[in-house]
Structure 1
Amino acid sequence: MPSRTAAADKIKARLDALTALRSGGALNDVASNYTQLRAFGRAGRTVKNVRLRRTYVRHDVPRPVDRERNGLPRDEQPPAARLIAPRGVAGRLHLILLFAAHCQAAPGRQWPNRIPIEPDSTQRLSWMGLIGAHARHTPGGRRVASPRVNKARQINEALKKLRDQHLLEFPNAGTSRPFQDFRLLCDSGASTDAAPIPYKVPRAEAPGIDVPVEFFTCGWVNLLTPSETVAYLMWLDVTQNPEHDEPYVTGVERAGHFGLGRDAYETHETLEAFGLIDVDPALLRHEDGKYTDYSAEGGSPICHRVTLTDGVTRNAAEAIEPVLRQYAATGRWGRPLSSLSDLAASLGIRIPS
């Protein structure tokens, strides 16, 4: 677990980035561009969910793990988990690419990407306008990089990482514009250098998970951390493709199927504070993950039960900022007590209507 000082520094940096994105109008611009993308996509179709192939987030057959706390080694993880990184925007960019594909291609069809990285006079949309990344001005040195240049660099580095993970390819590699008209490869993660598999929008009957379109249009894709995002995808899978009669995931399943370590699992605290999930905690489980009087024989596993809420339909920035400020003040995750009804609910008191 990070120290209190390190955690506070991360929260401050996250708040600073969120404030910059909101005050500069970037989040509103991105939301407007998503609306345009949906409106000028497939005629007569309205995208309600973005379907991910199940193997994007979860191995069909669990891999053996040495320690479930650590999850799988990176090269053995499913594609979504492999994109978790403290820096860079590869994970969120890939999800936004899949969102764009759903807007512009029918199920079962390939997506012809014609969106440029930077805006120009011939295009309404650009990848710079579709990703809400906070790119700072870089002073000093021999070259001064503007926020625009830094953001373009972030996107280019993310594209290269996605290529390295066999999630897209560069048909114009080796030219003066290597990233132009890049092509998505299948999100199953089954492509190789020798045998790339073109991406096709999944049909409804294909095994997968449906990500609500509001995850994109309401800003969550740009404001959750990579670990929070992949954990949210895990809980979507647990709900939509249940393996148990209750919504939980064991440590072995979380590590062997999803490839995730305990740090990613513990984001259930932030996801609950943001209002995306509700958590029914295991009563005998301590905060460090250990159990009281645990017996493996009989009974249900001592795991938190997690259910999805409709919180994804809320504006992400408005939901996240007060939670971060409360954590900065108290050092604990929780939903802000912004009203008397919230306070009553936290105390188990029912107020008559």
Structure 2
Amino acid sequence: MRRHRRLNEMKKGGQVDAASEALRELWEASKQPKSIAIRHSLFSSKEPPPPMAGLLNPRGIAMRFYLLALFEARCRLDVGEEWTGGRPIAGRRGWADFVAIDGAYDGESGKYMRSDTKQDRDLETLRLRQVQGALRTLEKLGADRHQALVDIPTKDNGHRIYDAFSLMTESGRGRLQTPDHYSVPKVERGQAFRVPAGFFLNGWIQVLHPAEIATWLIFQALSQHFPGKHDDEGNFLYGDVRKSFGLRRDAYEDARRRLCSFGLLRLARPKSEEASIFSQPTAPRERYEPHRYQVVHGSLGEKGLDRCLKEITFLQNELRKRKS
């Protein structure tokens, strides 16, 4: 299984532990927020698809990098303060230090490299290239780039100055000439939701796939927007709502199964059949009762890489038993 091999590569190289340690140093030397707030506009938009839809590609680290940038900003800034940059892309405590990659995966070609192939790129160079690629992806989101989540200045010769990138708000830079720079949001119901710091500090951000991160973030938002429903019956998504977030059915189904096996979601058993606004069918013929889920935070205290490897290894062993 490709994912098992990838996680083993990251475990062997100590990539996740090193990135998590860099993030923890950042956190301990700063405001030590227990959580960060993310605006709902990341995955909802008046002009669909939302910005998040452009970050669901399983290749590359664009979604991961943007979330890491939100975490880094909250560690430095108070609520209401606007983004200020200055951190270099490369070097000690640079942006590349916050990212864990699989040393056998080449982000530029989008392929896994054979172990017997000679390479002129070390892990530091690969991380740097992936960070630069993530910034380029974030810069190009939306028609006419109006959903761009970063702005990268250029030199007279057209070369990008990556170190000087600016972070945009979760809905993107906007259509006006003056971009909508990121500022730390206040948690307001229906406007923003919290993501526990353990998601970043314990490596979960490094090991989950983009569709898994997106699905988990959506359920986080639902659990805080409808806390009563979440605690009593669990939350769920109908197809139309899921599509509006940019999640394909197969990606969503696989993501929720993985999140349950990793201990980040659990299947809820509703205490009643009372419907919420998310459970109202759009037509009588669509009446059915989908599975409901509750967010679980306990696993965020574990190392994400160890938990994922354990669960995927167990699944592989079960599959081998069935085949034999």
Shorter-chain TM-score tier: 0.7 to 0.9
Within the candidate set 31, 35, 39, 2:24 is matched to: 35
Q: Distance in 2 between matches of 1:164 and 1:296?
A: 37
Q: What letter corresponds to residue 149 of structure 1 in structure 2? A: T
Change (3 A) 1:227 1:126: same
Structure with bigger helix share is 2
- Aligned partner of 1:226 in structure 2 is 210
Shift of 1:205: 3.2
Change (3 A) 1:296 1:331: farther
- Aligned partner of 1:302 in structure 2 is 289
Shift of 1:13: 2.1
Matched residue SS, 2:164: coil
TM-score scaled to structure 1, two decimals?
0.74
Q: What letter corresponds to residue 314 of structure 1 in structure 2? A: E
Shift of 1:224: 0.2
Change (3 A) 1:331 1:277: same
- Aligned partner of 1:133 in structure 2 is 101
Judge conservation of contact 1:219–1:316 (CA < 8 Å) in 2. yes
Judge conservation of contact 1:185–1:191 (CA < 8 Å) in 2. no
Q: Distance in 2 between matches of 1:143 and 1:28?
A: 24
State the Cα RMSD in Å.
3.0
Shift of 1:192: 3.5
Shift of 1:142: 11
Q: Distance in 1 between matches of 2:220 and 2:171?
A: 17
Ranges in structure 2 where 5+ consecutive residues have no aligned partner: 107-112, 142-147, 271-280
Within the candidate set 35, 41, 44, 1:55 is matched to: 41
Judge conservation of contact 2:173–2:181 (CA < 8 Å) in 1. no
Shift of 1:147: 2.8
1:78 counterpart = 2:64: no
TM-score scaled to structure 2, two decimals?
0.80
- State the identity %: 26
Judge conservation of contact 1:50–1:102 (CA < 8 Å) in 2. yes
- Aligned partner of 1:16 in structure 2 is 5
Q: What letter corresponds to residue 161 of structure 1 in structure 2? A: T
Change (3 A) 1:218 1:143: closer
- Aligned partner of 1:336 in structure 2 is none
1:203 counterpart = 2:203: no
Within the candidate set 123, 131, 155, 1:155 is matched to: 131
Q: Distance in 1 between matches of 2:63 and 2:216?
A: 13
Q: Distance in 2 between matches of 1:143 and 1:25?
A: 19
Q: Distance in 1 between matches of 2:172 and 2:153?
A: 19
Judge conservation of contact 2:172–2:180 (CA < 8 Å) in 1. no
Change (3 A) 1:318 1:167: same
Shift of 1:248: 1.7
> How many pairs align?
288
Q: Distance in 1 between matches of 2:173 and 2:121?
A: 37
Matched residue SS, 1:180: helix
Change (3 A) 1:84 1:331: farther
Q: What letter corresponds to residue 13 of structure 1 in structure 2? A: R
Q: Distance in 2 between matches of 1:24 and 1:86?
A: 21
Q: Distance in 2 between matches of 1:295 and 1:82?
A: 27
Q: Distance in 2 between matches of 1:182 and 1:278?
A: 38
Ranges in structure 1 where 5+ consecutive residues have no aligned partner: 1-11, 64-75, 283-293, 333-353
Q: Distance in 1 between matches of 2:61 and 2:102?
A: 10
